[in-house]
Amino acid sequence: TDLMAEGIYQDVKDVAYNRVIAIGGGTILDVAKLFALKNISPIVDLYDKKLEIEKSKKLVLVPTTCGTGSEMTNISILELTAKNTKMGLAVDELYADDAVLIPELLDDLPMSVFATSSIDALIHSIESYTSPKANAFTQTFSVKAMRMILETYLALVKEGADSRKKYMKTMLLASNYAGIAFGNAGCAAVHAMSYPLGAKYHVPHGEANYAMFTGVYEAYMELNPDGSISKLNEILADVLKCNTKDVYQELESLLNYMIKKKALHEYGVTKQDLKEFTDVVMTKQGRLMANNYAELNSEKVMKIYEKLF
């Protein structure tokens, strides 16, 4: 949260340092990015672009999960308690000077964290593929990442979850590739709609994304089935060995092996929350909603939430 970042700032504001080295998951990397800047506090003012943004420290990022791809992006996501949602600061000053991949750091990753973080990477690759900002370069990384992740999931179904350790290098690279893809083409409504759920009910980020994923993409299919989503479905169907019309059901079945999908009410979400979530998405998540494959207005967003409730 912004409060945590402010607390760290109070501890280090009088310490002279030239380099920030972050070793950890997406939250650690995202928070560390802020401390490479000259002006950090007040955090909320930084995210509202009220502070001059200038990089003054070298930044080295070392991920220990296979999900966020944060080591490759210029984005820092925080839960802003004053705004009751997660928000992203996206500026070039947040890019790392060095991104270091060490697969051995993932050896002890619990299955639950492996599942939620890698599903996040999968959704990064899919959302960036259908983003209107996508191009041949970003889609190359998107496709490579989604194939690597899904093929690993299929292997785990056959070999058992305990076999995941031998796939950590593959998954770390896939997360990195997905980070390159969405760092350039952007994520969209799946992430935007997951943020209020994660902020209010502290649902792990990848799990919150999964809760929204098929609902958003089924809505896209209703709105525009013939664009880049058609090619996406062909790619997914090829990996999953199914018909394109069944791709989202098959994908959900596979992901349920990793982590069981829940209806929103199972997290404690209320009907009143759906209206509040919709308002937050439409007023606070414009950065992400601008990357939607098809336009989603407040009525469509509300219908997706209601369908997933």
pLDDT of residue 275: 97
For the sheet with 19-24, list strands across it: 19-24, 58-63, 98-99
Q: With contact defined as beta carbons under 8 Å apart, do 293 and 133 qualify? A: no
Q: With contact defined as beta carbons under 8 Å apart, do 228 and 205 qualify? A: no
Q: Mapped to the 3 state alphabet, what secondary structure does 12-38 carry?
A: HCCCCCCEEEEEECHHHHHHHHHCCEC
Q: State in Å, rounded, how far the first CA of the chain is from the last one.
A: 26
pLDDT of residue 87: 87
The string of DSSP codes covering the chain is: -HHHHHHHHHHHTT---SEEEEEESHHHHHHHHHTTBS---SHHHHHTT-S---B-SEEEEEESSSS--GGG-SEEEEEETTTTEEEEEE-GGGS-SEE---GGGGTT--HHHHHHHHHHHHHHHHHHHHSTT--HHHHHHHHHHHHHHHHHHHHHHHH-GGGGGGGHHHHHHHHHHHHHHHHHH---HHHHHHHHHHHHH---HHHHHHHHHHHHHHHHHHH-TTSHHHHHHHHHHHHHTS-GGGHHHHHHHHHHHHS----GGGGT--HHHHHHHHHHHHHH-HHHHTT-SS---HHHHHHHHHHH-
pLDDT of residue 94: 97
pLDDT of residue 83: 80
Q: With contact defined as beta carbons under 8 Å apart, do 81 and 3 qualify? A: yes
pLDDT of residue 143: 98
pLDDT of residue 277: 96
| Cis amide linkage into residue 42, ω under 30° from 0 | yes
**Whether this model's pTM surpasses 0.75:** yes
What type of residue is 1? Answer: T
Mean pLDDT by 10 residues, the chain (309 residues): 95 96 96 97 94 97 95 94 85 97 95 95 98 98 98 97 95 97 96 94 94 96 96 98 96 95 97 96 94 97 98
**C-alpha count within 13 angstroms, C-beta hemisphere, residue 283:** 10
